[in-house]
Structure 1
Amino acid sequence: MSLSKQLYIIIAFIFFMIFFGNFIISVNNTKAYLQSESITKAQDTATSLGMTLKPLIHDKNSAEIRTIISAIANRGFYKEIRLEDAHFTISESSLIEASSDLDSLDWKIKTINIDKEFGVLEENSSDLEISQELSELENGKTDEDLGFALEEKKYSFIPANDYKNGGNITFNFTVQNDEGQTIDTFASLTINKVIAQALRKEKFDYVPKWFIDLVTIKLEEKYSEISDGWKTTAVIYVSANAGEAYAKLYEQFKGAILYAVVAFIISMIILFVFVQYLLKPLKRIEKLANNIAVGKFDTIKELPWTTEIKNVAIAMNDMSTKIEAIINKLNKNLESITYKLSKDEITSLELKQSFETDMKNMFIHKDDGYVFIIKIFDLASFAKSHTNKEVNDFIKKFANILKSTKLENKKCTSKAYRFFGSEFAMIGKNFTYEDAVLFTKKLKENFEKLSNEYNKKDIVHMGATPFNQIGTTPEMLQAANEAYEKATIIGSNEAHIRDKNDLSRDMESWRDLVFDIIENSKFNVKYISDARKLEQGNENTILMQEAFTSAKDKDSNDIPIGTFVSIAERYEKIMQFDMKVIEKVISHIIINNVKHEISINLSLESINNTAFIAWLDKTLALNKSIASQLVFSITAYAAAKDVNKFKFFADEIHKCNAKIIIKRFETKFIALDNIKDFNLDYIRLARDYTNNICNDPSKQSFVEAIAELSSLLNIKVFAENVKEDDDLQTVKKFNLYGASR
């Protein structure tokens, strides 16, 4: 996960944590405040109502009491207002009036009782006496002045548990009139504790139920006692309407959520701008790190202002500079070593490996010319009769003749090589037969001068053969040597030049043969050059094999693969050939469950062809499971011919999870300064670098430097064709990835 995403998540988490914490605290505080306010208001209302209803409470059935309670309840601030009787008080007149046996009120209750299941009935005689005394004290009146109203009896009903809230009660009593007549009778009264009540629903329509369920507001019921005289006769209860509190709380909830959403969006926009500005230097650092990984040692010019990131940028710049300095030093050492390895110490002529490379160049560019083999005659006898210095001077002068002899024709160029000892070679590029004859004639004239100088009559013989575009380098060297042998028979300082008619095969027959082999897949793919690990104990682990193709002519003779490829390239069949080879290798891996990697040689024409690359992309996509085992092999010389196209090919191959190896790696084709520009997985050194490496300090230094450089660039190095055990043991010291024998 990227740093920016982590920052967004962390900041968002902190934001929500702070918001929800504050939100919960705010809601709880508001809820507590609303509860307190509602309860206080309910208590104030109960007190106020109690004082208002006090003058009216002597008549508990008064309609005015219900009117006042309904008016207060209709304001909507209360869930319930309820007036309850404090004591069940029954008057004498109400009992007489309720009796069906009595037709007037001119009766007095003599005795009264109720069933015990209803409760207990007590006469309020003491209350009557106290009331009379209070009235006398207040008004100075006597019993006669108070009249009958003060003499009416009242009874207190103390209900049993089942009748605490009232009910239908039967009273049995005996009455007597002024004439002394008595009657036993009864009365049934419905007693209700609630005198008056007003109810209202709590919920407001715009407050959702989920909010009410989520937030619980508990409002206590408040009350106030109402007395009639000195004794409490009723209690007024007031319950606040929680819907009002819910409405206010819900409005605050919506406002807080809206504010939080707006604040979050604005905060994230500001954070996004800040993070992009903050991470911009990190992206530069990441780009620099990636560039260092692929060998591009840039530096960050604009240092970031953040102290920590600035220190990282400075450290990365320092690391990039130091690694570049190390690589430059290695490059200089390698250039020096390469020069020593590719040049003859005495004559400064290039060696045989350079000759073979230039021959490949001739094949690739389909150039014409001649190949010369030139040998100093009987150098051993000359060396016996002369000192080392004289012998070396003679060889130098001999080589100078080869280097300095030129044709006037500007199209014709010549280059000399020293193979070993007395054997030299030359490539005459764009030479015709006539040019070759003229060139050997000039050489003979110059060598005769050298012969006279050293009094050596027989000094040189020369053989030449035309460049055969359908042949191979060994075949042409053999043909040139055959011409040389004929020259030795002709006479002293003579030359023999073969012409085009000496070519063994006719091009038309070659064309038909190669077309038939490719179109009908009449070739085999073998797997050679087992590259194994060089780690102790893992020498038998195969890392990579090379796919090698072989084909036969009509006489069942093996066709030199170099000749076959040359003709396929000449007639533009090489791309089809490469496709068929790749298909065979893929089938081999799948059928045989191969676990190691296999390298496949590709021609320059194929990697430069967009149609071939498109086909390869599609083929690798269909074989994703084994794509990582395919390593496409290009010679160092071919890669160097068109660096941009090779880079494009390498990038496309890596997109498909396949790999790239450069084989026959030589620094004269790919400068070590430029190797970092190639997106390589492997390098396979040319065999000349490891042949007899145990006895050659220059080669050891070269391979060691290559190993160090490739390690810095994350490139794995193979040694090719290490035959001798001593050479293999020497190669192991340099920690190469693998080697083939």
Structure 2
Amino acid sequence: MTLFRQIYTLLFVLFLLVVASLSYVQFTETQSFLTKQMESDLNNTSNSLGIMLVPDLEAGDIVGAETLINVIFEGGYYQQVKLTWLVDGKQQVWQNPMTIDGVPQWFIDLGLFKTIKRESTITSGWIQLARLEVTAHPGFGYHELWRTMTNAILVFSILFLIAIIFARIGLTWILKPLHEIAEHAKEVANRKFGPDMTVPKTVELKSVVLAFNSMSEQLKQIFNSLDEEVGELRKKNLVDQVSGLPNRQYMMGRLNSWLSEPKSGALMMAKFDWLEEVHSKYGYQVRDETIKLLSDKMKQHLDGVTGSVIARIAAYEFAFLITSSEHDQTSKYLQTLIRTINQEMSKAGCKPNEGFAIGIAERIGQMSVTDVLAQADNALQKAIQGNQVFHWFETNEKQLFTREQWREHLSAAITEGKFKFKWQPILLNDSNSILQRELYCQLEIHDKMVQAGQFMPYVELLSLGTLLDKCLIESLHSKQLLNRNFEPIAVNLTFQSMGDTEFHQWLNKFLRSSTLRERLCFDIPEAAVYSDPEACQALCAIIRDNGSHFGIDHFGRQFGSMSYLQNLRPSYVKLDQSFAYYDESEHSSELCRALINVAKGLDVEVIVTGVEEQEQLARFTPLKTNAYMGYISPPVDVD
């Protein structure tokens, strides 16, 4: 029971006791007063009637005596009058029926008034003439008592209603700061640090509100300091201090993540010997400034072509990871890069198209980090040896299908629901029991099984992401995959679905109609959160309001604030795979620990991804993560 209801009930009971006490006092006092009044009236009547009857009794006038008694008796205040003549013993009785108008019979049956009678002897001198007995009629008492009590109850009821209404209004107003404190406490418990509460005038509540405001501000500062610590550690460990670009360690982690995901794209490695010329002419300060300007221009111009990661991996070597593109788009990226380099070379007084070389290796089929690095370095060396600006690594491996063929196969598979599924268990650290299962899809084309890594790049390039997501979610229902296990199933959503309002409406309708929606989890890529936070927040609200769950995939990959966790409040985060490949240095552990502390500080479960060996898992054990996944426990076919 809430504090408001407790106080309200207490006031209600106390007021009820007061009203009941007052009613009881009023009732007993009125009853006593009416009884005394009837006794007094009866005494007066008995004495007066006895005196008035003396002449008639002395004369033996029976008719006169009867007339006199009838006059008094007809007033209705007496139930019975009995006159006994002592001369001859004759007895006369006058009686009124026991009927009382306007008073319920049950009230009369309570017997609140005892029989009141007065007996007197009428004398004349020393001679006794008659004996007179008068019995009071209780009707007057019942009638007056009933009228008084009904009026009192009516007044008390009105006062009672007015009192409880004002008590409710008053308590609501008085306890409003306490209600705000409760709501603020809930927000703080959910790690939502809003503006300070208004300080009330009530002394006791004022101190509580001030304490809550202080606590909320301190928790907010703690979270912000953790967020700042993550930023500083990233800057210290993963960012090149001169260029402001990611360093070699970050690039290696991203390469591992990129190759483990269903992506396309290319890796470019560039060597800028002209920067050495700048160094020899103008010194290291000018060289460093030139590197900073070049880095800013490359980010500015290349981000508009396609998404990529630009890193400085050595003094005069840079790497460009294009995370999703086809050959034509990669060529456009290359031309923009060459143009940007030439512009900066001209500003530095160097000849364009001289003093730098670029090697390009495209991702085709299944490749390892060693493969793609070797191909890119081989292309770079050939460009240097041939005195070329760039060189593409030549491979005999061809693409499985053309773009239009992929469109045909994928459209048919989505329409007809031809996808086959695997799921990978996510295991809890402490018990190795399954926390959830992450769903993967594959496609059979011409009797050949095609993995997601081969067709997912074309799903994005052909803008089929929303249709694929709908197909996979509907397949969960049609194939009854949610009924096979008690563990939730996690579905990776594509970038296209994040900002598609029609998909939001469709998902809302689907979840409302699903009886097992609490077993559905949705993985949202962190990059989507940064690129379109409002759309992601709207989608997450739909998922949460329908009782499903969602988490952030590739957590910690992006260079940005973690404050979005407070707004989205995910159930879990999946640490980016790159952290599983970073070296075991103290700095890397500090960064992982800081990221995990940010999430756990908001009561968000942390899942480590990309775990392939027990040694990798052992590195995360001291960091108090919740669960892990990877090829240490590989995906299995869904029968």
Shorter-chain TM-score category?
Answer: 0.7 to 0.9
Greater Cα offset, 433-442 or 547-556: 433-442
Per the alignment, residue 486 of structure 2 pairs with 595
Per the alignment, residue 553 of structure 2 pairs with 663
Counterparts in 2 of 1:242-321, with a 5 A limit? 242-300=138-196, 302-321=198-217
Aligned equivalents of 2:53, 2:535: Cα separation in 1: 105
Per the alignment, residue 548 of structure 1 pairs with 440
* Partners of 2:605 and 2:625 within 8 A in 1: yes
After superposition, what is the alpha-carbon deviation per residue over 1:658-687, rounded to whole angstroms, capped at 9, x for unaligned?
A: 111001101635512343222211111112
Per the alignment, residue 123 of structure 1 pairs with none
Per the alignment, residue 330 of structure 1 pairs with 226
Give the alignment partner of residue 218 of structure 1, picking from 114, 125, 147: 114
The answer on 1:672 being equivalent to 2:578 is: no
Q: CA 1:499–1:291 in structure 2 vs 1: closer, same or farther (change >3 Å)?
A: farther
Aligned equivalents of 1:409, 1:667: Cα separation in 2: 22
* Partners of 2:254 and 2:578 within 8 A in 1: no
* Partners of 1:686 and 1:720 within 8 A in 2: yes
Q: Name the aligned partner's letter for residue 547 of structure 1.
A: L
The answer on 1:510 being equivalent to 2:399 is: no
Per the alignment, residue 415 of structure 2 pairs with 519
TM-superposed CA distance for 1:34, in Å, is: 0.4
Q: CA 1:489–1:727 in structure 2 vs 1: closer, same or farther (change >3 Å)?
A: closer
* Partners of 1:661 and 1:684 within 8 A in 2: yes
TM-score, structure 2 as length reference: 0.80
Q: Secondary structure at the residue paired with 2:623?
A: coil
Q: Secondary structure at the residue paired with 2:120?
A: strand
Q: Secondary structure at the residue paired with 1:733?
A: helix
TM-superposed CA distance for 1:313, in Å, is: 0.2
Q: Name the aligned partner's letter for residue 557 of structure 1.
A: M
Greater Cα offset, 207-216 or 420-429: 420-429
Per the alignment, residue 613 of structure 1 pairs with 504
Q: CA 1:437–1:236 in structure 2 vs 1: closer, same or farther (change >3 Å)?
A: closer
* Partners of 1:640 and 1:669 within 8 A in 2: no
Rg larger in structure: 1
The answer on 1:652 being equivalent to 2:547 is: no
Q: Secondary structure at the residue paired with 2:422?
A: strand
Q: CA RMSD in A?
A: 4.4
Counterparts in 2 of 1:349-364, with a 5 A limit? 349-350=245-246, 351=248
Per the alignment, residue 464 of structure 2 pairs with 573
Q: Secondary structure at the residue paired with 1:544?
A: strand
* Partners of 1:285 and 1:300 within 8 A in 2: no
Q: Name the aligned partner's letter for residue 4 of structure 1.
A: F
Per the alignment, residue 417 of structure 1 pairs with 311
* Partners of 1:416 and 1:424 within 8 A in 2: yes
Per the alignment, residue 68 of structure 1 pairs with 68
Q: Name the aligned partner's letter for residue 513 of structure 1.
A: H
Aligned equivalents of 2:194, 2:310: Cα separation in 1: 41
Q: CA 1:669–1:436 in structure 2 vs 1: closer, same or farther (change >3 Å)?
A: closer
Greater Cα offset, 702-711 or 333-342: 702-711
Q: Secondary structure at the residue paired with 1:198?
A: strand
Aligned equivalents of 1:55, 1:636: Cα separation in 2: 119
Q: CA 1:635–1:235 in structure 2 vs 1: closer, same or farther (change >3 Å)?
A: same
Counterparts in 2 of 1:721-736, with a 5 A limit? 721-736=610-625
Q: CA 1:219–1:736 in structure 2 vs 1: closer, same or farther (change >3 Å)?
A: farther
Q: Secondary structure at the residue paired with 1:309?
A: helix
Aligned equivalents of 1:640, 1:346: Cα separation in 2: 25
The answer on 1:426 being equivalent to 2:320 is: yes
Q: CA 1:8–1:257 in structure 2 vs 1: closer, same or farther (change >3 Å)?
A: same
Counterparts in 2 of 1:10-25, with a 5 A limit? 10-25=10-25
Q: Secondary structure at the residue paired with 1:80?
A: strand
Q: CA 1:564–1:476 in structure 2 vs 1: closer, same or farther (change >3 Å)?
A: farther
* Partners of 2:310 and 2:319 within 8 A in 1: yes
Q: CA 1:357–1:48 in structure 2 vs 1: closer, same or farther (change >3 Å)?
A: farther
TM-superposed CA distance for 1:294, in Å, is: 3.6
* Partners of 1:81 and 1:236 within 8 A in 2: yes
* Partners of 2:180 and 2:197 within 8 A in 1: no
Paired residues, number: 596
Aligned equivalents of 2:47, 2:333: Cα separation in 1: 134
Aligned equivalents of 1:267, 1:543: Cα separation in 2: 55
Per the alignment, residue 112 of structure 1 pairs with none
Aligned equivalents of 1:641, 1:208: Cα separation in 2: 80
* Partners of 1:284 and 1:300 within 8 A in 2: no
* Partners of 1:371 and 1:477 within 8 A in 2: no
Aligned equivalents of 1:223, 1:236: Cα separation in 2: 6
Per the alignment, residue 146 of structure 1 pairs with none
Runs (5+) with no aligned partner, structure 1:
91-192, 378-394, 448-458
TM-score, structure 1 as length reference: 0.70
* Partners of 2:553 and 2:576 within 8 A in 1: yes
Per the alignment, residue 584 of structure 1 pairs with 475
TM-superposed CA distance for 1:202, in Å, is: 4.2
TM-superposed CA distance for 1:374, in Å, is: 4.8
Aligned equivalents of 1:282, 1:552: Cα separation in 2: 62
Q: Name the aligned partner's letter for residue 534 of structure 1.
A: N
